[in-house]
Amino acid sequence: MLRFNSPGDIHFVTFKTYDNHPYFRDEKCCLILLEELDFYRNKLGLKIYGYVILPDHVHCLIYFDDLKITISKIIQGIKGSSARRIIDLYSRSGSQEHLLLARNDSAEQMLCATPQAHRKNLKYRIWQPRFYDFNIYSQKKFDEKLQYIHNNPIKHGLTNDISTYKYCSWRNYELGDQSIFKIDYIEY
C-alpha cells in the first residue's frame, strides 16, 4: 500500500493482531501497548489525538512533523517493542492464558496460532505485518475518524455504554479522564 508521509498530516492508523488473536483482552497487554505509545510519543515528538484498543486491533490518530521519520517507522517501532514485551510477559509468567493450539492440531501449543516462524527468525508473532494508514485532510475528516474510534467498542459488541470502556480516548474527551492514557488535543 502506498503511504503518504506529508509532514503536518494527522494519520488515522489501524493495526491488527496476528490471526486476529484477542491479546488485548488481557489488561497487561493493553498497558504495555499504551506505555509503548507514550514512549514513542516522547522519543519522536508525536501527538496522539485519539485511540482505542480492541481485543484484536488498535486505532490511533497520530501526528508528527519531523521530516526524518515516517509513519511506517513509527508503527514498526510501536509494534516491535510491544510484541517483545508481550512475549516476555507471557514467557516469564509461564501463563497459559495466551496460548492457542497450533493449526496442525497437535497437542503442542504456541504463543500464536501459526506453525510458521516470523521472517526474522522470531519464534512468536503478535502483530500482523503491515497496517492501514489514512491521512486526515480536513477538520471534518478528523471528527469523523475520532467518532469512528469512539464508536468501535459498541460496534464490536464490547459494551453498550462507551463510558464504561476503559481503553478509549472517549474518556479523555468526554470525561476529562487522563488517568489511563494522556492524549493530546488539537489546538485550533
CB 47 within 8 A of CB 41: yes
Q: Which three cell numbers stand for residue 154?
A: 459498541
170 has pLDDT over 70 = yes
Mean pLDDT of 167-187: 95
Mean pLDDT of 87-102: 63
Mean pLDDT of 27-49: 97
pTM of the full predicted structure? 0.84
pLDDT confidence of residue 8:
78
DSSP at 94? T
DSSP at 97? T
The separation between the first and the last C-alpha atoms of the chain, rounded to the nearest angstrom, is: 31
Q: Closest Cα to residue 181, out of 36, 12, 56, 64?
A: 36
pLDDT confidence of residue 176:
95
Domain ranges, ordered by start, for the chain: 10-85+129-175
Which one has a higher pLDDT value, 95 or 31?
31
Q: Are strands 100-101 and 10-16 parallel, antiparallel or unpaired?
A: unpaired
Q: Which three cell numbers stand for residue 153?
A: 467498542
Q: Which three cell numbers stand for residue 158?
A: 464490547
The CATH number of 10-85+129-175, from 3.30.70.1290, 3.20.20.140, 1.20.120.450, 3.40.50.920, is: 3.30.70.1290
pLDDT confidence of residue 122:
62
Q: Which residues of 137-170 are buried (b: 16+ CB within 10 A; e: fewer)?
A: eeeeebeebbeebbebbeeeebeeebeebebbbb
User: Could you tell me which residues come within 8 angstroms of residue 188 by beta carbon, excluding any fewer than 6 positions away?
Assistant: none
Which one has a higher pLDDT value, 114 or 60?
60
What confidence tier does 105 reach under pLDDT thresholds 50, 70, 90?
A: very low
